[in-house]
């Protein structure tokens, strides 16, 4: 698994004091990506970097793995992130997808600053469905003259590991499916179980007169299925345990549209 080398090099870079370098205060999108790119180059793995709105951000050349980056300002929006081009998944176009979350100071005192903590997780930890295919659609006929087009451009708002888990803040943690066995340089710090919901959304309708959004749900054929993961850290790191945070999904707060969007 390339993720072992990639995670190891990221942690080593943090320990060595490798800083994020932002070209300007307006550089809010690619500074963490650039930091990760440097660590990826240091592994010696060949890779391609995708363009804007492509998925994932980095694809390896000789291995069927991809990496999607999510930089989070701290303190700031921590509970969830916007995914504009693809619902998270652990498998996409034949590649295994890993998500890389890094937090950095929201108000640094210069253009160079550290990565405060790091979580690298298999995409299945965020969503285990590999069947859904993201598409944007449009329809004509809106407006008083019937010549306005409406685009259905979906945005997915996804919980981050900092919301889903206890014990990952201010640490460097790797989360992989339970069947992955890591030895030597790694220590296990938690077993994590995510359970499939009773119902699943298969569609929705939006009333343009009332601005009401209505979800269409059906029973989830995988309801109750447990997806088991393990949390790992490099030796020499703190061994604080990692566990699933208990949340009532009916009362989970979402970030305001006015909140600063993450990468």
Tell me the pLDDT tens digit for each residue of 150-185.
Answer: 998 888 999 999 999 999 999 999 999 999 989 889
What digits encode the pLDDT tens for the residues 71-81? 999 999 989 99
pLDDT category of residue 25 using cuts at 50, 70 and 90: low
Q: Where are the domains of the chain?
A: 2-195+226-244
Q: Is the peptide bond before 75 cis (omega within 30 degrees of 0)?
A: yes
d(CA 250, CA 31): 35
Check pLDDT > 90 for residue 134: no
The pLDDT > 70 percentage for the chain reads: 91
**pLDDT for res 109:** 87
Give the pLDDT score at 153: 87
- Angle of helix 31-43 relative to helix 2-15, nearest 10 degrees, comes to 110
Distances (CA, A) of 183 to 97, 227, 234, 241, 246: 22, 22, 10, 18, 29
What mean pLDDT do residues 139-152 have? 92
SS3 9: helix
Average pLDDT of every residue of the chain: 91
List, in sequence order, every residue forming a beta bridge with 258; answer none if it has no partner.
none
On the question of pLDDT at 256 being above 70, the answer is no
Q: How confident is the model at residue 113 (pLDDT cuts 50, 70, 90)?
A: very high
Give the per-residue pLDDT at 246.
87
Residues 6+ apart with CB under 8 A from 195: 224, 225, 226, 227
Query: What confidence tens digit (pLDDT) does each residue in 190-244 have?
Result: 999 999 999 999 999 999 999 999 999 999 999 999 999 999 999 999 999 999 9
For 205-217, write each residue's pLDDT tens digit.
999 999 999 999 9
pLDDT beyond 50 at 263: no
pTM of the model: 0.91
């Amino acid at each position: 698994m390339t993720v072992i080398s990639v995670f190891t090099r990221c942690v080593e870079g943090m320990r060595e004091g490798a800083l994020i370098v932002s070209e300007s205060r307006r550089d809010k999108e690619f500074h963490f990506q650039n930091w990760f790119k440097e660590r990826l180059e240091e592994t010696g793995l060949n890779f391609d970097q995708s363009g804007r709105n492509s998925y994932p951000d980095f694809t390896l050349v000789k291995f069927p793995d991809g990496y999607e980056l999510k930089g989070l300002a701290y303190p700031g929006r921590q509970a969830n992130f916007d995914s504009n081009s693809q619902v998270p998944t652990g498998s996409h176009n034949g590649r295994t997808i890993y998500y890389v979350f890094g937090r950095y100071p929201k108000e640094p005192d210069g253009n160079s600053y550290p990565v405060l903590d790091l979580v690298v997780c298999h995409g299945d930890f965020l969503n285990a469905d590999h069947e859904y295919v993201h598409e944007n659609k449009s329809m004509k006929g809106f407006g008083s003259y019937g010549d306005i087009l409406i685009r259905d451009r979906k945005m997915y708002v996804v919980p981050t590991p900092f919301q889903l888990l206890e014990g990952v803040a201010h640490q460097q943690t790797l989360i992989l499916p339970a069947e992955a066995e890591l030895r030597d340089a790694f220590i296990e710090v938690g077993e994590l179980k995510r359970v499939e919901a009773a119902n699943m959304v298969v569609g929705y309708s939006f009333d343009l007169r009332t601005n009401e959004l209505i979800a269409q749900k059906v029973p989830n054929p995988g309801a109750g299925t447990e997806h088991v993961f393990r949390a790992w850290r490099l030796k020499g790191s703190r061994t604080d345990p990692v566990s699933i945070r208990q949340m009532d999904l009916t009362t989970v707060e979402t970030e305001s549209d006015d909140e600063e969007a993450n990468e």
